[in-house]
Structure 1
Amino acid sequence: MLRTQPGTAPALVNSARVSGLAALGFAFLIVAGNVVLVPAGLPRTGTGIAEVEEFFRAHGGLVGVGSAVTPVAWVLATLFGAGAVRVLWRSERDRGDAWALFGFAGLVLQNAVFAGVVAIRLALASTAADGVGATGGLWALHDALFTLNGTFLAVALVGLSLAGLRAGLIRPWHGGWGLVSAALLSCSAVLTPLVIDHDGPLGLLGLAGWLMWVVWLVVYGLALMRRVPVPGPPTGG
């Protein structure tokens, strides 16, 4: 159970609420970005180059719109992770654990990798519009980064799920959900060469893991917002 020293409860409650709101905002923005691009026909990993070129030639402006929300999403992801570490820190310190820090590292790394993914999408939109023949190499790099990013999502899921479970912040089903999502994303990352070379069912591993990640994120945010720290014992004097 999370406990606080006397006088620290209001600050911890505020930190938890801000972190929870950041998690909800991050989840909303990553879903919104996909709502903009996926219905327009954003190519999946393994899609043929001709189809990729056609999409980015026809929807370069839409790619720019979808990418516009991502810097805010990365800020919110970092705020969520830092706030979660703050809330879980006392429990982690008492146990001698570092799972929350492990999970936070995963969030930071996925921000960095996905910045590369978004940058490549913008480059594809630019080169396709100009008729520059760089699509093949850029798209292969995009698919590889996109799929390998599942590793860092898995790190975030494992670290924050275990830290939240051990601290009593999240329920067992929620922790188990996060671990299953991490397993799916890890499998997809391990199978990256197969996933990016074939537009087939292997790509569904990462998709299922990603959808579970979004649900996990929303529920984690709500758990942080509901967190009411148990005050520490009164001290004399």
Structure 2
Amino acid sequence: MSAMGFPRISGFAALGFAGLITLGNVIAVPAGLPAAGSDTDLDEISAFFAEQSAIVGASSALTPAAWVLATLFGAGVVSVLWRAELHRREAWSLVGFAGLILQNAAFSGLIAIRLALTSTADDGTAAVVTLWALYEALFALNGTFLALALIGLSVGGRRAGLSRPRHARLGLVSAALLFLSATLTSLFIGQESLFGLLGLAGWLLWVAWITAYGITLIRLGSSHAPTRR
């Protein structure tokens, strides 16, 4: 691994992270995972978590590895950008890395609530109402942390010459969609709206962005420093 170089390791970590979070959704969503912010009936929510506990468990089992890979990716970007940022007295990469750590923590809470719902779905509506309300609120606010990661690593990567302009723009557009979705959904939590579509679009762009970033880090190699493009 040392011969490969840490930037390349973090690049493969980015690709692994994108693959795992996509696979987790491929497992859970077709099985009927209720969407946060939708008008799904509480009885349907209870039925899903009671009957599909194996599906929830399988998709949740992927997430610990995903959190490790996200952290490796962020640390790799910091390792590449830090020297140039110190010279300019900036810390955009640390802003982005903080966003990744915070989204890991927030999504840990989301997965924990999903697993708790599989254990309490048969116990009564009150537990489901409480846990689902907490899930929706945390899901909405998680877009803030993703936006922070996208902004910090996009701006830092572009200013150091690591990222191309179109890649940085992709990250900023994704950040804007996710932040707008988090802000509006938190104001209208529990009401059916189009705000979820903003979050979905931002999430898809986020996956494309981190995949492109991973490829950039892999190509960079351990012996190349970023140059202005």
TM-score scaled by structure 2? 0.92
Structure 2 runs not aligned, ≥5 long:
none
Deviation at 1:222? 0.3
Which residue of structure 2 aligns with residue 23 of structure 1?
14
SS at match of 1:196: coil
The aligned amino acid for 1:52 is I
Preserved CA contact (<8 Å) 1:56 1:125:
yes
Deviation at 1:81? 0.5
Matched, 1:170 2:163: yes
Matched, 1:200 2:190: no
Match for residue 30 of structure 2 among 24, 32, 39: 39
Which residue of structure 1 aligns with residue 213 of structure 2?
220
Alpha-carbon spacing, 1:152–1:193, altered in 2? closer, same or farther (3 Å): closer
Which residue of structure 1 aligns with residue 140 of structure 2?
147
1:69-102: per-residue Cα shift (whole Å, max 9, x none)?
Answer: 1011000101110111001111111111100000
Percent of aligned positions that are identical: 60
Which residue of structure 1 aligns with residue 183 of structure 2?
190
Which residue of structure 2 aligns with residue 179 of structure 1?
172
SS at match of 2:121: helix
Deviation at 1:192? 2.4
Alpha-carbon spacing, 1:62–1:219, altered in 2? closer, same or farther (3 Å): same
Alpha-carbon spacing, 1:45–1:230, altered in 2? closer, same or farther (3 Å): closer
Which residue of structure 1 aligns with residue 58 of structure 2?
65
1:91-130 superposed matches below 5 A: 91-130=84-123
Q: Which moved more, 1:165-174 or 1:130-139?
A: 130-139
Cα distance in 2 between the residues matched to 1:12 and 1:109: 31
Deviation at 1:58? 1.4
The aligned amino acid for 1:198 is Q
1:166-189: per-residue Cα shift (whole Å, max 9, x none)?
Answer: 111111001000000000000011
Deviation at 1:194? 4.6
Deviation at 1:15? 1.2
SS at match of 2:96: helix
Cα distance in 1 between the residues matched to 2:213 and 2:188: 29
The aligned amino acid for 2:114 is R
Preserved CA contact (<8 Å) 1:53 1:135:
yes
Cα distance in 2 between the residues matched to 1:203 and 1:42: 15
Cα distance in 2 between the residues matched to 1:13 and 1:94: 27
Q: Which moved more, 1:131-140 or 1:177-186?
A: 131-140
Which residue of structure 1 aligns with residue 68 of structure 2?
75
SS at match of 1:105: helix
TM-score scaled by structure 1? 0.89
Which residue of structure 2 aligns with residue 137 of structure 1?
130
1:127-171: per-residue Cα shift (whole Å, max 9, x none)?
Answer: 114557400110010011011000000000000000100111111
- Which protein is bigger by CA-based radius of gyration? 1
Preserved CA contact (<8 Å) 1:188 1:195:
no
Structure 1 runs not aligned, ≥5 long:
1-10, 232-237
Cα distance in 2 between the residues matched to 1:74 and 1:80: 10
